[in-house]
Amino acid sequence: MQVAVTGGLGRIGRAVGAELAGHGFETVLVDVAPMREQGPGYRRADLRELWQAVDALDGVDAVVHLAATGVPDSHTVHPELAEGATYTANATSTYNVFQAAAVHGIERVVWASSETVLGPPFRIGGPAHLPLDEAHPVRPETTYALSKATGEGLARYFAHCRAMTLVALRFSVVMDRTDYTALPEYWAEPERGRWNLWSYVDLDDVALSCRLALTAELVGATALTVAAPDTLSDRPTAELLDALGGGVKLTRPLGTFESLQCSAKARELLGWRPTRSWRDVSVS
């Protein structure tokens, strides 16, 4: 199977490319960034242009769509312009990739949504219930999150109108071994993790989720939480709940260091079993 990985030169894109190549997939890395590497495995395209998306996906069997721009710099002089640019770039690119896949008759698209569709950083309202899961209302609070929520709406459209299968993976903050060494600083400021409920997911487990979503027996549009089963905090989850002010409805009891995001649906539908935790790495 030949798979196009958009955003293929980015952090997650490179890990997904390696994961797929290691499991017998042929990959085409699609990115707007200048490509030092050249050859059939690389295609340069600005996915904000539909024709470039259509060219980039020619001949592939499936797509992992990761290309996006992140939350704009908060120090920008005109934040409303930067926020608008983030929304427009991500929503447009996602539409173009889905449409290009439809043009080529590509039936499976796995793509990066985000935990932020459910409310992080929770500046306007707190969670409706915990742990966060697919039953939680979609309540974006930033234009980045809004672009991902729009993507989920677009996915439902293409599933309905073009009979495609689109799997949205709502990644938590993606971390790897090098990030874990900074955790003692993070613990020194317990409030730092509050914005996303002290959640994370390891880069290798993100790549694994993308590979599994390419072949999982699914139809239509599906959105799945992809977070590590534990928190990033060195404090028990009960203390983190206290720090949130209490009063948030718990849908079930939680383990001592259990995450406040629940990936049970990804486990069930993808067979995803996260393999890595910062707790397995020496960080002090």
Q: Are 232 and 261 in contact (CB under 8 A)?
A: no
What is the DSSP track for 169-180?
EEE--EE-HHHH
| CB-nearer residue toward ligand NAD: 67 or 164 | 67
Angle between helices 11-21 and 203-215 (to 10 degrees): 60
Output the six-digit token pair for 232: 């990033």
Q: Any idea what DSSP says for residue 40?
A: T
The whole-angstrom separation of Cα 30 and Cα 44 is 6
Q: What angle do CA 86, 64, 7 make, to 5 degrees?
A: 45
Cβ 247 to ligand NAD shortest distance, Å: 27
Residue closest to ligand NAD, measured at CB: 10
C-alpha to C-alpha distance for 36 and 233, rounded to whole angstroms: 39
**Shortest Å, Cβ 162 to ligand NAD:** 22
**Cβ count near 123 (within 10 Å):** 10
| Nearest-approach distance from CB 242 to ligand NAD, in angstroms | 26
Give the C-alpha separation, 97 to 200, whole Å: 27
With respect to ligand NAD, which residue has the nearer C-beta, 112 or 242?
112
Q: Residue 101 CB: number of other CB atoms within 10 A?
A: 26
Helix ranges, the chain (H)? 11-21, 50-56, 79-104, 143-162, 177-180, 183-188, 203-215, 237-243, 264-270
Quick one: 84 or 219, whose CB is closer to ligand NAD?
84
User: CA-CA distance, 5 to 166, in Å (whole number)?
Assistant: 14
Task: Choose between 58 and 239: whose C-beta lies nearer to ligand NAD.
Answer: 58
Question: 233 vs 242, which CB is nearer to ligand NAD?
Answer: 233
Q: Which is nearer to ligand NAD, 233 or 261 (CB)?
A: 261
Give the residue with the Cβ less far from ligand NAD, 97 or 216. Answer: 97
Kindly list the residues in this chain that would bind ligand NAD in the complex (CB under 6 A).
7, 9-13, 31-33, 45-48, 66-69, 89, 93, 112, 114, 171, 173-174
